[in-house]
Chain A
Amino acid sequence: MSHAPFIWGAYLIGAFVLLWCALAPLQRKKSITRDIRRLAQIEESSRDTNT
């Protein structure tokens, strides 16, 4: 039995898990930045309407 698929499988799954773990916070940061930008826009527009 060739060991190659097991070695490949282990490393690929390992890479996938660690890649996901690394990218997840970046995804979160994107959505936070979007929220902050939206909040800032809302505040600016309310300030404009007030003045």
Chain B
Amino acid sequence: MSTEVVSGSLSKAFFALLRRDLLLAFRRRTELLFPVIFLLVVVSLFPLGIGPGPQLLARIAPGVIWIAALLATVISLDGLFRSDFEDGTMEQFVISGHPLTLISLAKILAHWLVAGLPIVLLSPLLALWMNLPIESLGVMIVTLALGTPILSLIGSIGVGLTISLKRGGQLLSLLVFPLYVPILIIATAAVMAASDSLPYTQFLGLLTAGLVTSVTLAPFAAAAALKISLS
């Protein structure tokens, strides 16, 4: 499968790489569950730490769910490029002649399907635990569906920069959390507006714009970061 990536047309390479990464991820199925379990544990810590009062939980629900999503994403990001970097496959990709940008994009998509999509799918359960008002559940799911890919995309830049470090994972969180601040603010604003029956579509528009911008720009930065790390 790696040979298909190394030779052939761009779209063939893209989908071959995507398929390869997904297959590799599914071979270690238990590892797939770690971010999921982490997400569930973190969210359940909040009622335990703050108290189960339903109104308080409902007030902080959007922030808590989104922060848990941020944390779960950062935890899972380190695996994005690492195994390929360590066994030399990444260098093969660079030599292969295919743009590293496209390779990054394929790997980021695989990462989101494996780590980000479960967050979106689990959100109804999290919303139930945090007593999120039912009116805003739809918006919550949409913000996560739009926002978690942005998290993967921006996070991949941080991963590219720290991949050559032994303890890169710890530094990674410091690097990406400031960049995540706008997404957190806008997403939670959307959900809270929906809870109060206020207009929220402008926030979803901003998130969509952010997603489009990240998809076009982040892979370039991630590729540049990888090239620096490989040098």
A touches B in complex, CB < 8 A: no
A contacts, CB < 8 Å to B: none
Which residues in B have some Cβ–Cβ distance to A below 8 Å?
none
